Amino acid sequence: MARYFDVHPDNPQRRAISQVVDLIRNDGLVAYPTDSCYALGCRLGNKDGIERIKQIRHLDDRHHFTLVCQDFAQLGQFVYVDNAVFRAIKAATPGSYTFILPATKEVPRRLLHPKKKTVGVRIPDHTVTQALLGELGEPLVSSTLLMPDEDEPMTQGWEIKERLDNVVDAVIDSGECGTTPTTVIDFSEGDAEILRVGAGDPARFE
């Protein structure tokens, strides 16, 4: 049965955040809100958690997971960013964007695109997510909480608790979340290629 955490959206209770982070460090899988929509997340070394995300969402091995990072310093440990790309990403973060970039050796091979050796990274503009990442001290391996054969992600914490009670370890509820996933920008070849238009304004990358 998943633990349910009712967390204040602007002033997250430190105790609740610490309890969620303890679960994550003990290889738990959590459903948490972001600035685009709810996501499933686990720690980087949690192989079982990554497999559980695949099972919940019916994903294959080609799925691009995202590393959700607290800030640019953390992001820079996991992807290579040249100066021109750095300026473009810096201007758009934190925000509802996912960037595809060449991965460093810090990223486990199972998370990489099999041919390109890239990974998705993002820095969310969400108080609760930032509190989680700050306490955890490392990125969350994440995927949008979009169920198989459904067009819209779930937006309510209680609904997620009801439906995923036996397959996740915790649900964080900080009020209603959005339904639009991030805008995805591929910088792996140097120039910006918009792969998906979502919550982030794509105009700055066109």
Task: For residue 47, give the CATH number of its domain.
Answer: 3.90.870.10
Q: Are 66 and 120 in contact (CB under 8 A)?
A: yes
Q: Determine the pLDDT at residue 166.
A: 96
Instruction: Give the number of residues written for the chain.
Output: 206
Nearest partner of 187 among 105, 55, 110, 75, judged by Cα: 75
Compute the distance between CA of residue 103 and CA of residue 2 in angstroms, rounded to an integer: 33
Q: What is the mean pLDDT of the chain?
A: 95
Q: Rounded to an integer, what distance in angstroms lies between the CA atom of residue 86 and that of residue 76?
A: 10
Per-residue pLDDT at 177 exceeds 90: no
Q: How many domains is the chain built from?
A: 1
Q: What are phi and psi of 85, to 5 degrees?
A: -65, -40
pLDDT value for 113: 83
- pLDDT greater at residue 193 or residue 60: 193
Is the model's pLDDT at 41 over the cut of 90?
Answer: yes
Q: Is 29 part of any domain? A: yes
pLDDT over 90 (residue 159): yes
In percent, the amount of the chain with pLDDT more than 90 equals 87
* % pLDDT > 70, the chain: 100
Which pLDDT score is estimated for 71? Answer: 96
In the prediction, which pLDDT does 69 show? 98
- What's the pLDDT band for 62 if we cut at 50, 70, 90? confident
pLDDT top residue among 178 and 44: 44
Answer whether residue 159 is part of any domain: yes
Q: Does the residue 103 lie in any domain? A: yes
Checking if the pLDDT of 154 tops 90, the result is: no
- Please check whether residue 205 lies inside any domain of the structure: no
Domain that holds residue 105: 3-200
| pLDDT confidence band for 60 (50 / 70 / 90) | confident
pLDDT, position 114: 80
| 21-30, 60-69, 131-140: least confident range | 60-69
Q: Is residue 67 part of a domain?
A: yes
Sheet-wide strand order for 140-144 = 3-6, 170-173, 30-32, 39-43, 140-144, 66-68, 118-122, 97-102, 183-186, 193-196
Report d(CA 196, CA 188) in Å as an integer. Answer: 15
More confident residue, 114 or 43: 43
* Residue given tokens 């300026």 in the structure block: 87
Residue 206 lies in a domain: no
pLDDT tier at 152, thresholds 50, 70, 90: confident
How buried is residue 72: exposed, middle or buried, by Cβ count under 10 Å (0-12/13-18/19+)?
middle
Residue among 32, 40, 41 at smallest CA distance from 175? 32
User: Per-residue pLDDT averaged across 101-125, rounded?
Assistant: 93
Structural contact between residues 37 and 179, judged by C-beta atoms closer than 8 angstroms? yes
Question: Average pLDDT, stretch 10-34?
Answer: 98
What is the reported pLDDT for 183?
97
pTM: 0.96
Strands 170-173 and 66-68: unpaired
